A and B are shown apart, each in its own frame.
Chain A
Amino acid sequence: MHKQVSYLLLEDGSLFSGHPIGAWREQPGEVVFNTSMTGYQEILTDPSYAGQIIVLTFPLIGNYGTTPKFTESNSIHAHGLIVSESCATPSHWQSQSPLDGYLKTNNVPGLSGLDTRALTRHLRERGTMRGALVQDLQSTDHWLEQLRSYQSEPAIANLVSTPAAYRASEQGSWRVAVLDFGAKSNIVRSLAALDAEVIVYPASTPVQKLLACSPDAVVLSNGPGDPANCTQGIKAAKELLGAVPLMGICLGHQLLGLAMGAKTYRLKFGHRGGNHPVKDLRSGRVSITSQNHGYAVALDGQTDIEITHINLYDGSVEGICHRELPVFSVQYHPEACPGPTDSRYLFEQLKDTATAWRRS
């Protein structure tokens, strides 16, 4: 009956206790919360969480187990998972392994039995911060020092990008090159579902090489980290502007923004969840979106950029486009997984843009 107690230590010194789960070890990361009530496996395997410790606000996690069918990449890049309850006896026809086993297989540590709501409120009030999973109270001083000097990997996207280019969807009526900063698989699947041939390139791919496959469109994918640190990506985006129809998703959107002269800034506690309302300013329609980002784009007097989408919670920019060039991007995730599929239309928009561009 005696359960081991371990801790989450935050850089501001606060401590939350829980029980170790997964492949337990001490590990630092940026602590972020996500309010999605389902889709834990999609979240875990989303490469954008690289280096982060994910707090899920919904308390019952793992109810329907895990399966290779729900992965968004081939491994877990997050540094840890924090839940209130991790279900040991999942029930689902597709389930192959309980969450705990899945974390172990993927070598990811975590905590359960924590007051995740208290933690979430803490992060909401104080903002996203660094933290570490720590074994016992003896090591807190050591970790506090580490956390205060902790520097996140600057070019983190490179670490989660594909090492080599590959053809993700063999054939199709149009060709898309995806510049992979940590792309979720469902971006590729969504494009393939629209009959696209999809080739995925490493984040470091030079633009000439990317254009060599003569794509009808390029997608700058989502990915982890501070966009301003991703100089390579900004450079690529600049070079691609006007050369080919472009769509940016999440980090890709921020890179496009920076490439066009806009700024990015860090949000206090980010947008992570499946319930954020986003208004399409052109149609007036609101979609409920899947979100996962800690930075956002802000215009800085650019006249060639149009804001197409805004977040109805805080008014932040959720989508932009270039006034002349076939370039548009969104801060959220039209590929869903997890979350609402309301925004699938954006992929169709890309297809239309690409088709029109090729014809002209």
Chain B
Amino acid sequence: MPRDLNINSVLVIGSGPIIIGQAAEFDYSGTQACRTLKEAGLRVILVNNNPATIMTDPGIADVTYMEPLTIPYLTEIISRERPDALLPTLGGQVGLNLASELSRHGVLDRFGVKLLGTSLQAIAKAEDRMEFKQAMIEMGQPVAKSAIVSTVQDALSAAAEIGYPVIVRPAYTLGGTGGGMATDALDLKTITEQGLRYSPVCQVLIEASIAGWKEIEYEVIRDGAGNAITICNMENIDPVGIHTGDSIVVAPCQTLSDQELQMLRTASLQIVGALGISGGCNVQLALHPESMEYCVIEVNPRVSRSSALASKATGYPIAKVATLVSLGYNLDEIENAVTGTTACFEPALDYVVVKIPRWPFDKFSTANRSLGSQMKATGEVMAIGRNLETALQKAIRSLEIKLEDLYLPALTPLSDDALYRKLALRDDERIFVLAELFRRGYELEELHRRTRIDRYFLHKIYGLVQWESLLATEELSAELLREAKQLGFTDKSIARYRSTTADAIRALRAEHNIKPSFKMVDTCAGEFAARTPYFYSSYEQEDEAGPLDSERVVVIGSGPIRIGQGVEFDYCSVRASLGLREAGRAAIVINNNPETVSTDFDTSSRLYFEPLTAEDVIGILEKEQPQGIMVQFGGQTAVNLAESISRAGFKVLGTDADAMDVCEDRERFDQMLAELDIPRPEGRTARSAEQAEQLAAELGFPVLVRPSYVLGGRSMAIVENLDDLHRYLREAVQVSPDHPILIDRYLTGKEIEVDVISDGEDILIPGIMQHIERAGVHSGDSIAVYPPVDVTDEQSASIVDYCRRIARKLNIRGLMNLQFVLYRNNVFVLEVNPRASRTVPFLSKVTGIPIVKLATRIMLGETLQQMGITPGLGETPGYTSIKMPVFSFNKLTEVETSLGPEMKSTGEAIGVAASLPEALYKAFLGAGLTLPKQGKALVTIANRDKQEALPIISALHNAGWSLYATKGTAKCLLEHGLSVETVNKATEQSPNVLELIRSGEVQLVVNTLTQGKNPQRDGFRIRRAAVEYNIPCLTSLDTLAALLEAMTDEAAVTVQAFGAK
């Protein structure tokens, strides 16, 4: 059926800020949807308050609203734009839930907005755990025994009937939020309470456990005529019990017979047909490992994280086809853009794909790492190989956790018992634990019994471990070396087993002419010639990647989404790639993140889906012989490769590798600033504990300490006094001559951040951003305001001046990001990053300056002047924009939530409005932080903050809030005439603070950090309790002040359109 010609404009709702369970995959699907709709000649209206995305960039939609994703704002946008239709199934769970709500509130009817694709009834049938179960039973599809409950009491009686263990699965949440496995009534009570709190409809499913079965997923697309195809099937190496988002996944399935696969495929198609889905969806099934018995786990009636993975794993553009189906096209009317044949087919793979989640435990050392039905990963990597070993090893090194293969050194000292205990926890390192146990001679059967991981996968791990000893003992003949490379071992890991260097192995390879050959992902296993293919490496005979004829430039991507390096860098990579193509170059992207736009088949001229290590990247460079390589856009991942790339004789475009080194090498950096006469907070390097004490005393407390060898704000702390310093040296970081620590004076002041476009001579600063939270809170976790509110002209002039001097000195060509602190009216440089930054997409959007594109052209040789750009500070617009961090603490148990110099947020929301309070209001709202006008607040303030806290707390009080406080804080507040109720500390008798939080009495918790991050401490427990009970908890007084300011905003709902013509 051709599309409905009455539809001329479509509203697309994005998925908002990135949180665990909802990451960049919806930028991929949403961007593809917008492009597809536009190509179909429709006017696209986009709403998404995530400024880091490609989809919200000019040119993707016809008009973009970066407004809070709430009913009032959406209603306002609909009433202004009058879209003919709404596409609800490409913006993740958030987009879907909003579409349902809009319909329920009658907004869609009122404005005559037609819903495209799957009907809301069908969506409800799939999403509502009860309706879904019912539908399955009617259809004769097997489901695990279960009961739907909305009270703890009912949960307990249901479980008694079903029998423990049971799993709690909340309705309408994502990433398994609030769910978990309960082995007894006590567990069940806690988990159910939590699940009910998180479920927007206060409904959870209590279900018999089928943990240990094989977890299988099918990606299905069905059109309005009822044609349905499966794009891909995927097998979780981790059996049922670990969320698919936290499982290591292979595609296609590896251990199922054709009979089993056809049975599950047929079931999936039947289910999707019976639910009446039209568009893309995902069916999760569990297959008994030793019979044909299976259960349906769930159906996601929308494009999902798995769709993004399936799309990249097969080359099939699921989001695009799903969009066209929603418009009314039948599958056989749609073309497969890759092969030029029909899109109505099922891709055939001739390789295997492995996905490994990327967990944030490197950032959160205290977190509970054990995996279960609630997702904890922030992102994922995908790797492609002609065999499983290669795909697995490539995936491991793509994670950027400093591992080359299955060897995790930290496990070596552990006892066998400790390893078994770790295995039982099923944590993020389980695959390395398995390898270590194999190394120690443990039996495969025993490990199978303990993990329920299929023997096939265990054999593969075992095989790799055997190869380790082979590599260590056998003579390294050309044949053995080739075979090792075919299994995906890197030169570095081969070198480690042979106690030699990677360079030596590399030389040996050159001698025997063993080099990677590149294969295509073409959707059809070579059956047809492909037009827009992408590539992966192998060590087989034929290399299919023919020469590109235009000038080639490589963009190094940013790898998996993790805390500190999010979708912003994918935005930059995509923009660079598009900029290169506009400039007539062939843009070659290398990346390994399946969730992103950068790995979409039509973003670049050529995509290599590969790990971002020196060896892998250089293998590609040697093949492509590009004219230049761009390392500024892929975050620290790409910057870290600069040196190896130039050492291998390739040309890094723009700023050179040495300038990058200056920014990272503390001594060289200090020296440069000294030469330029630019102040920075005084700092020293300490090589022993004694020296640290002495230097700290010299500098004067408070000081900021961090190990010199870690990047990214890890293990950074503000230390107030000698005691604190001792504790830090004892608990957090060992100092030694080889591992010095850096000690800086901690300057309490306003933090400023700028991004700079520089051609080596002139600079353009699109805008200066001021942080709400003072320096000391990581720039990624602070609320940023643009344009700044209280930076004087003089300060602003110094900032521009410093930027220019540094840019010239380092000969920055491209981008540079700087952070400053304003301390006693002076400007101090905190850090210089010679690359694109987290704030580039935000600034690009709110200033309208295409930052990455300009930087790209500079890197290709143009100057600002040639591009007709006036250097200096960009003009400020007549509105205020806020960038607000968003956290995912509810997914990560036992994690410290207090803000500090280490970054913790997973995403960001934007607020744009004419006034600061309104912009703040929108940003808070968009980040999910809302407060009632009046309520009750629990306040516990550290001694040093008490003076400063008084006016802010009294403002809160005056706004109509009643206060609870622990003894010390209460005393101080009382003394200053505020009425407050005193509560006992957590360790004291009831009723105490923790009970107060759990009782639901308070709607806000304000808690400033006293000292340390010890989970035993009161503060920590208060903050965690607040998270677990879903109560806003502010740890910075600056944030509270801003929130109060936002709350004064009484203005009506106003919205601002970007890109409207």
Contact = CB atoms under 8 A, between A and B. Distances in A.
Answer yes or no: do A and B interact.
Answer: yes
Interface of A: 1-3, 16, 33, 35-39, 42, 57-60, 63-64, 69-70, 84-85, 87, 89-94, 115-118, 120-121, 124, 269, 273-277, 279, 284-286, 288, 312-313, 336-342
B291 A93 contact: yes
Contacts of B269: 342
Contacts of B446: none
Given A92-B255, A273-B527, A63 B350 contact: no
Interface stretch (B188-196, B339-347, B597-605, B816-824): B339-347
Given A57-B526, A70-B259, A91 B387 contact: no
Contact of A275 (B254, B255, B345): B345
21 contacts: A1-B477, A33-B526, A37-B348, A38-B252, A57-B527, A58-B252, A63-B456, A64-B456, A70-B258, A87-B456, A120-B350, A120-B525, A120-B526, A124-B529, A273-B348, A275-B346, A288-B346, A312-B332, A312-B341, A336-B262, A340-B265
A50 to B, nearest CB: 21
Given A57-B350, A117-B542, A313 B387 contact: no
Given A64-B256, A91-B255, A120-B525, A84 B345 contact: no
Nearest to B262: A341
A92 to B, nearest CB: 6
B257 A37 contact: no
Contact of A60 (B229, B257, B387, B527): B387
Contacts of A115: 540-542
A286 B351 contact: no
B849 interface: no
A38 to B, nearest CB: 4
Interface of B: 225-227, 229, 252-259, 261-262, 265-266, 269, 289-291, 330-332, 341-342, 344-352, 386-388, 454-456, 459, 470, 474, 477, 479-480, 519, 524-529, 540-542, 544
Contacts of B477: 1
Given A1-B474, A91-B456, A276 B345 contact: yes
A282 B159 CA distance: 51
Nearest to B542: A118
A337 B258 contact: yes
Contacts of A16: 541
A53 B1045 CA distance: 76
Nearest to A67: B257
B350 A38 contact: no
A44 to B, nearest CB: 12
A161 to B, nearest CB: 25
A279 B255 contact: no
Contact of A312 (B262, B344, B542): B344
Contacts of B330: 284
A60 B254 contact: yes
Q: Which 6 A/B pairs are nearest by Cβ-Cβ distance? A: A118-B542, A39-B258, A115-B541, A91-B456, A91-B455, A57-B525
A33 B350 CA distance: 12
A354 B907 CA distance: 64
A313 to B, nearest CB: 5
B257 A2 contact: no
Contacts of B347: 275
Given A117-B350, A120-B525, A285-B226, A338 B541 contact: no
B346 to A, nearest CB: 4
A117 B519 contact: yes
Nearest to B462: A89
Contact of B257 (A36, A92, A342): A92
Contacts of A342: 269
Nearest to B541: A115
A118 B386 CA distance: 12
A274 B455 CA distance: 27
Is the contact region of chain A dominated by helix, strand, or loop, or is it mixed? loop
B336 to A, nearest CB: 10
Is the contact region of chain B dominated by helix, strand, or loop, or is it mixed? loop
B350 A313 contact: no
A58 B542 CA distance: 16
A340 B229 CA distance: 10
Given A64-B255, A286-B331, A313-B341, A91 B459 contact: yes
B458 to A, nearest CB: 8
Contact of A38 (B227, B257, B289, B341): B257
Nearest to B290: A93
B345 A312 contact: yes
A90 B229 CA distance: 29
B258 A338 contact: yes
Contacts of A90: 456
Contacts of B225: 284-285
Contacts of A312: 332, 341-342, 344-345
A35 B349 CA distance: 8
A89 B458 CA distance: 10
Contacts of A269: 527
A339 B348 contact: no
A92 B259 CA distance: 12
B258 A313 contact: no
Contacts of B290: 93
A57 B454 CA distance: 24
A116 B350 CA distance: 9
Nearest to A84: B386
A87 B291 CA distance: 22
A59 B519 contact: no
B387 to A, nearest CB: 6
Contact of B348 (A57, A336, A341): A57
Given A124-B527, A279-B332, A339-B262, A313 B255 contact: no
A64 B454 CA distance: 11
A204 B564 CA distance: 74
Contacts of A37: 252, 348-349
Contacts of A277: 229, 332, 342, 344-345
Contacts of A84: 386-387
Nearest to B455: A91
B540 A2 contact: no
B542 A121 contact: yes
Nearest to B263: A341
A313 B347 CA distance: 13
Contacts of B254: 60, 63
Nearest to B389: A85
Given A275-B347, A313-B342, A85 B387 contact: yes
Contacts of A36: 258, 348
Contacts of A92: 255, 257
Contacts of A1: 470, 474, 477, 479-480
A85 to B, nearest CB: 6
Nearest to B539: A115
A23 to B, nearest CB: 24
Contacts of B350: 35, 57-59, 116-117, 120
A288 B345 contact: yes
B747 to A, nearest CB: 58
Nearest to A273: B348
Contacts of A2: 479
A94 B258 CA distance: 12
Contacts of B229: 277, 286, 288
Residue from B252, B259, B525, B529 having most chain A Cβ neighbours under 10 A? B525
Contacts of B525: 35, 57-58, 117, 120, 273
Contacts of B541: 16, 115, 118
B526 A63 contact: no
B1021 to A, nearest CB: 46
A298 B351 CA distance: 35
Contacts of B540: 115, 117-118
Contacts of B257: 38, 64, 70, 92, 94
A85 B352 CA distance: 12
A38 B519 contact: no
Nearest to A313: B341
B469 to A, nearest CB: 12
Contacts of B352: 59-60
